[in-house]
């Protein structure tokens, strides 16, 4: 297994707490959404409400590229702060989007980021934002519409087509009868594996701090199995997960 060395990173981290009860809160929120609410509002309510910040600890089986069992964590803080840290036997590697620039850290050391890597990580940031739902309420950044019922694939109750206004990237979100997002598709770059249509299927939803969140994910790239993900823990809306970006070019305070 990968080591758990804890170097200083642009998010202060702590050991995640176990999942808290909250299924009743999520169900009540979904009920209060009302028939007049938009499809996005209903999906956010079905989940249990907005999420200001999250930290997801993952163990994953990777089937392409660097095959094997890996662990990583993905930290997000609205509106634009993202850190993806891969645990390795040596120094941890972190890609960070600080709202303006992509940064790379090996341990605590800042490393240069070439244009291809920056573009790829920005595509991943957009994917994380769209599948996280809350950005869909920002009409200045995304546009969305419901997929006509006749075009919703079998097994899903409804769908959302989302377009990122900055570059025109489009994504499909598929919802079940509870209005939970159980699948997503969109173009993502994942070097060194390549670029293509990423598809995710989310399952094993469980209550976490008043929200219903998936505990597993299955990802394919252009139809080929890429990653099987097991979520070890979620930490939500913790003020101690504050942003602590280091000073330097591209950094913000």
Mean pLDDT of 207-236: 97
Q: Could you tell me if 127 and 198 are in contact, meaning their C-beta atoms sit under 8 angstroms apart? A: yes
CA distance 112 to 232: 31
Fold designation for 23-236: outer membrane lipoprotein receptor (LolB), chain A (2.50.20)
Mean pLDDT of 128-142: 96
| pLDDT band of 107, cuts 50, 70, 90 | confident
Angle at 18 between CA 6 and CA 96, to 5 degrees: 40
- Report the pLDDT value the prediction gives residue 99, as an integer from 0 to 100: 87
Q: Could you tell me if 27 and 46 are in contact, meaning their C-beta atoms sit under 8 angstroms apart? A: no
CA 238 to chain centroid, in Å, comes to 17
Q: Token pair of 67, please? A: 């095959």
Scanning the chain, the segments in alpha helix (DSSP H) are: 23-32, 39-47, 115-131
Which residues is 234 bridged to in the sheet? 56
Give per-residue pLDDT as tens, 35-73.
457 999 999 999 999 999 999 999 999 999 989 999 999
CA distance 173 to 72: 24
| pLDDT band of 128, cuts 50, 70, 90 | very high
- Report the pLDDT value the prediction gives residue 240, as an integer from 0 to 100: 63
Give per-residue pLDDT as tens, 144-195.
999 999 999 999 999 999 999 999 999 999 999 999 999 999 999 999 899 9
SS3 content of the chain, % helix, strand, coil (to 5): 15, 40, 40
> Given a cut of 90, is residue 24 above it in pLDDT?
no
| Lowest mean pLDDT across 111-125, 146-160, 212-226, 233-247 | 233-247
Give per-residue pLDDT as tens, 205-214.
999 999 999 9
- Report the pLDDT value the prediction gives residue 239, as an integer from 0 to 100: 65
Of all residues in the chain, the percent with pLDDT exceeding 90 is: 70
- Report the pLDDT value the prediction gives residue 162, as an integer from 0 to 100: 98
Q: Could you tell me if 84 and 227 are in contact, meaning their C-beta atoms sit under 8 angstroms apart? A: no
Of all residues in the chain, the percent with pLDDT exceeding 70 is: 80
Angle at 129 between CA 112 and CA 164, to 5 degrees: 95
pLDDT greater at residue 80 or residue 101 = 101
pLDDT greater at residue 9 or residue 172 = 172
| pLDDT band of 247, cuts 50, 70, 90 | very low
- Report the pLDDT value the prediction gives residue 108, as an integer from 0 to 100: 84
Q: Give the residue extent of every domain in the chain.
A: 23-236
| pTM beyond cutoff 0.95 | no
């Amino acid at each position: 297994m990968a080591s758990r060395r804890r170097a200083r990173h642009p998010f202060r981290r702590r050991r995640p707490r176990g999942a808290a009860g909250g299924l009743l809160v999520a169900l009540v929120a979904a009920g209060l959404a009302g028939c007049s609410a938009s499809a996005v509002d209903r999906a956010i309510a079905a989940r249990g409400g907005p999420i200001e910040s999250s930290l997801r600890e993952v163990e994953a089986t990777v089937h392409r590229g660097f095959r094997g069992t890996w662990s990583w964590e993905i930290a997000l803080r609205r509106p634009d702060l993202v850190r993806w840290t891969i645990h390795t036997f040596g120094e941890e590697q972190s890609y960070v989007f600080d709202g303006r620039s992509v940064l790379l850290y090996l341990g605590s050391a800042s490393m240069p980021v070439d244009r291809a890597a920056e573009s790829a990580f920005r595509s991943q940031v957009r994917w994380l934002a769209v599948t996280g739902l809350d950005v869909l309420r920002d009409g200045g950044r995304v546009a969305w519409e419901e997929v006509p019922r006749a075009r919703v694939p079998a097994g899903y109750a409804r769908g959302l087509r989302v377009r990122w206004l900055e570059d025109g990237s489009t994504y499909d979100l598929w919802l079940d009868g509870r209005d939970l997002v159980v699948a997503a598709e969109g173009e993502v770059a994942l070097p060194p594996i390549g670029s293509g249509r990423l598809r995710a299927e989310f399952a094993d939803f469980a209550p976490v701090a008043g929200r219903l969140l998936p505990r597993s994910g299955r990802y394919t790239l252009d139809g080929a199995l890429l990653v099987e993900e097991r979520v070890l823990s979620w930490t939500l809306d913790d003020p101690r997960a504050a942003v602590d970006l280091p000073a330097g070019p591209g950094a913000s305070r």
